[in-house]
Amino acid sequence: MQNIISSNVGYPRIGEQREWKRALESYWKKEITEKELLERTDEIRLDNIKKQKEKGIDLIPVGDFSLYDHVLDTSAMFGVIPERFGYEGGKVDIDTYFAVARGTQQAVASEMTKWFNTNYHYIVPELQSVQPELTENRPLTYYKEAKEKLGVDGKPVIVGPITYLQLAKGYDEADFSSLLDKFLPLYVQILKELEDAGATWVQIDEPIFGTELSEKVLDQAKQVYETFQQAAPELKIILQTYFEHIVNYKEVTSFPVEAIGMDFIQGDSLALLKEFGFPKDKVLACGVINGRNVWKANVEEKLNLLNEIQHHIGESPIIVQPSTSLLHVPVTVKLEAQLDSGVKAGLAFADEKLEETVILTKGLLQGKDSIQKELEKNQAELNHFNKETDRKNERVRQALKEIEASGASAVERGLPFKDRIKEQQKARHLPILPTTTIGSLPQTFEERRTRTKWRKGDITNEQYDAFIKGKIEKWINIQEELGLDVLVHGEFERTDMVEYFGEKLNGFGVTKFGWVQSYGSRCVKPPLIFGDVSFDQPMTVKETVYAQSLTDRPVKGMLTGPVTILNWSFVNEDVPRDTTQNQIALALREEVEALEQEGIHIIQVDEPALREGLPLDKKKWKAYLDAAVYAFRLTTSSVEDRTQIHTHMCYSEFHHIYETIDGLDADVISIETSRSHGDIISTFEENTYDKEIGLGVYDIHSPRIPDKEEMKQNIHRALQVISPKQFWINPDCGLKTRNETETVGALREMVKAAEDVRQEV
């Protein structure tokens, strides 16, 4: 190989304008046939490859495209399909594939959880009693496709066996090695066939090496890669890690692979190189362009970084690439015509990051002078970004400093929970096992169309407000009729729980097409935090107060918390993350106080992203969690004792953050549980949680309407470990993506289930 080449780790699937999403959803609605779906998605996939070729990327990933999720693709490739979907081996047809992801009326979907510390969700493989087989050589299919149709000698991407099995469930740790033995021959076959087909490179993704692994697993991993090397000696394997430095660096870099891919953005890869060097016989794939954020790279600084890396690794060849798959950033800045030009000058999405990668590669190969023009342009754009936008706010910086200086007391509630709960009970009389929902209610085409019209100026502010009010009224009536105890206004004014706040807070910008995939066809548009954050105007008061005016039952105010806003935004890199997080908290605290002043005494501050933000390296957890707790309390602690603070989180695996949950000091927490099939309940078995808690009693990610008996079972199971005095009954998560029939149907069953169980306790 040439000593220095460029590469990409993965490319967004969704298309410049989310064409992918539309194709999938049309198919699910049976508006298009399977053939049409495949035609449309083939086109997107090939366009993506073409684009990367035109940009001048040397190693273009293939097989990273997916119709839902790459972990699910891996499962389908190995025939890892749970029995309940009626699968009988062989190639997995498309409807079975989607059924595993989305569930059917007969079968509950597989669990979905976050991909490491990102907001991307993968479908958790279920390994109980499966006999893996190679149902199709997927990487080979896409390798051949790119070669035949586009003349591209692509780099197939595969989820590595260690990561795949570590993320799977349904087996005991003790069986890890026997399972690995079952999958190993399948991986070997894939690699051999790729080698036979003439593939030069293959990228095996093992982000799990960013976490700490036992010696045993590391030994087995080494054997796996030895087997790969023996089986396909001509194939050049890039062992790709990301989201963190390699925690067991010495072990992993000793594996017999051609190249190691390392993330030089998240984690301390450079420090590892300094301390331990890098094996002379390997290629270093340097992830120096940030695959997780949207800011333009300072090309000169990146070139210096690469020079420094080179200095530490000596003669080893280098691959220049983004730090992670570009799945986590939007496709192109090109379409953002309405953005402030100063902000736009500071942005680089996937396509622009590939351009940066190519420029850097050239600079490293031919010297800095060879990219003089590009460097000047880059500097000019960064200057524009720094100058034109309002990026600093001294008032906020000062206010935060003062609060931080006054210590823990600045973020404490008046009375401790056991005393203030009495005030809260006095303030309102809720039945035992109160019912509520998580906040959002169905949003249909109508909401989206009306919002678009309003944004375009086709309807007036008054018309839009009246429309939202109409929705609130309709759903307050429905909730009353259903007999729910604590109502919500429904979040109809929000496209997204983070973007909405981003549009209203100072220091934020919002893009038009800056979408990234979150789960399945669902995409989110993270706002940009380009400067210091501060409160500008009330954000939720109008809608909440209106909803409350329509009913005697309590309406719960609804905000997104500081940790989640931070984790789901593209964050300014000029100040420490914790500082930005606290700035957001301070702004939200003003909102909480405004709601309280207007008579809203139940306020939910959602933190669904708290857990996902955990760094891969456990050594960093405490600092992250302490900061999260501080910011949450900064947001919520100034309210009266009788005001009840709720919070909501998604997803299981709460064992290791139990103390944090307690530390938030929220009066009520609701947690998603049904997709974790009970795992979460054991957390509460082992601990004595004294505050109130709602464990989701049905899964909202699936269109299936569960009946009351099924929900009662879930409630009963929870009540074995949690006192009915503490327990709330609610769905798993927000209902925005469900339709009215599904929502009303399921909530009716939920209220009935609550009534039945109340009779028993």
Of the pair 124, 339, the CB lying nearest Zn ion is at 124
300 phi/psi in degrees, rounded to 5: -65, -45
Binding track, positions 674-713, relative to ligand GLN; x by CB under 6 A: ----------------------------------------
User: Taking CB under 5 A as the criterion, which residues in 581-620 touch Zn ion?
Assistant: 608
648 marked as binding residue: yes
The answer to whether 635 touches 588, Cβ cutoff 8 Å, is yes
Cα–Cα dist 217/639, whole Å: 49
672 marked as binding residue: yes
CA distances from 134 to 92, 182, 188, 447 (A): 11, 11, 11, 45
Of the pair 557, 608, the CB lying nearest Zn ion is at 608
21 marked as binding residue: yes
Shortest CB 675 distance to Zn ion, Å = 11
User: Taking CB under 6 A as the criterion, which residues in 391-450 touch ligand GLN?
Assistant: 438-440
Site membership for ligand GLN, residue 217 (CB under 6 A): no
Question: With CB cut-offs between 5 and 8 Å by kind, which of ligand GLN, Zn ion, none does residue 351 bind?
Answer: none
Of the pair 526, 734, the CB lying nearest ligand GLN is at 734
Of the pair 252, 438, the CB lying nearest Zn ion is at 438
Q: Is 384 known to be catalytic?
A: no
Site membership for ligand GLN, residue 729 (CB under 6 A): no
Shortest CB 494 distance to Zn ion, Å = 14
Cα–Cα dist 614/244, whole Å: 11
Match 């000169």 to its residue by tokens: 300
Strands of 528-534's sheet in order across:
506-509, 528-534, 570-571
DSSP 380-411: HHHHHHHHHS----HHHHHHHHHHHHT-GGGG
User: Taking CB under 6 A as the criterion, which residues in 731-750 touch ligand GLN?
Assistant: 733-734, 736
The answer to whether 165 touches 176, Cβ cutoff 8 Å, is yes
Shortest CB 562 distance to ligand GLN, Å = 15
Shortest CB 737 distance to ligand GLN, Å = 9
SS3 state at 750: helix
Shortest CB 730 distance to ligand GLN, Å = 10
Cα–Cα dist 685/723, whole Å: 11
Question: With CB cut-offs between 5 and 8 Å by kind, which of Zn ion, ligand GLN, none does residue 526 bind?
Answer: none
Of the pair 269, 604, the CB lying nearest Zn ion is at 604
**Catalytic residue selected from 328, 601, 646, 701:** 701
Q: Which residue among 606, 617, 665, 699 contacts ligand GLN (CB under 6 A)?
A: 606
The answer to whether 225 touches 252, Cβ cutoff 8 Å, is no
Determine how β-strand 506-509 pairs with β-strand 528-534.
Answer: antiparallel
| Residues touching ligand GLN, count (CB under 6 A) | 13
Site membership for Zn ion, residue 669 (CB under 5 A): no
CA distances from 576 to 46, 572, 581, 583 (A): 39, 9, 9, 11
Q: How many helices (H) and strands (E) does the chain have?
A: 27, 22
Cα–Cα dist 752/576, whole Å: 49
Site membership for ligand GLN, residue 608 (CB under 6 A): yes
* Single-letter amino acid, residue 555: V
Site membership for ligand GLN, residue 561 (CB under 6 A): no
CA atoms within 13 A on the CB side of 563: 28
* Single-letter amino acid, residue 684: F
* Single-letter amino acid, residue 721: V
Q: Which residue among 648, 675, 708, 738 contacts ligand GLN (CB under 6 A)?
A: 648
Determine how β-strand 516-519 pairs with β-strand 506-509.
Answer: unpaired
Residue 39 tokens, joined: 């035609």
440 marked as binding residue: yes
SS3 state at 475: helix
Q: Which residue among 313, 345, 484, 497 contacts ligand GLN (CB under 6 A)?
A: 497
Site membership for ligand GLN, residue 715 (CB under 6 A): no
523 marked as binding residue: yes
Piece of 10-18, 401-409, 642-650, 684-692 that binds Zn ion (CB under 5 A): 642-650
Residue 610 tokens, joined: 């708290």
Binding site for Zn ion (CB under 5 A): 608, 650, 733
Q: From the annotation, which residues make up the binding site for 5-methyltetrahydropteroyltri-L-glutamate?
A: 18-21, 114, 522-523, 568, 612
Binding site for ligand GLN (CB under 6 A): 438-440, 491, 497, 558, 606, 608, 648, 650, 733-734, 736
Q: Active-site positions? A: 701
Q: From the annotation, which residues make up the binding site?
A: 18-21, 114, 438-440, 491, 522-523, 568, 606, 612, 648, 650, 672, 733
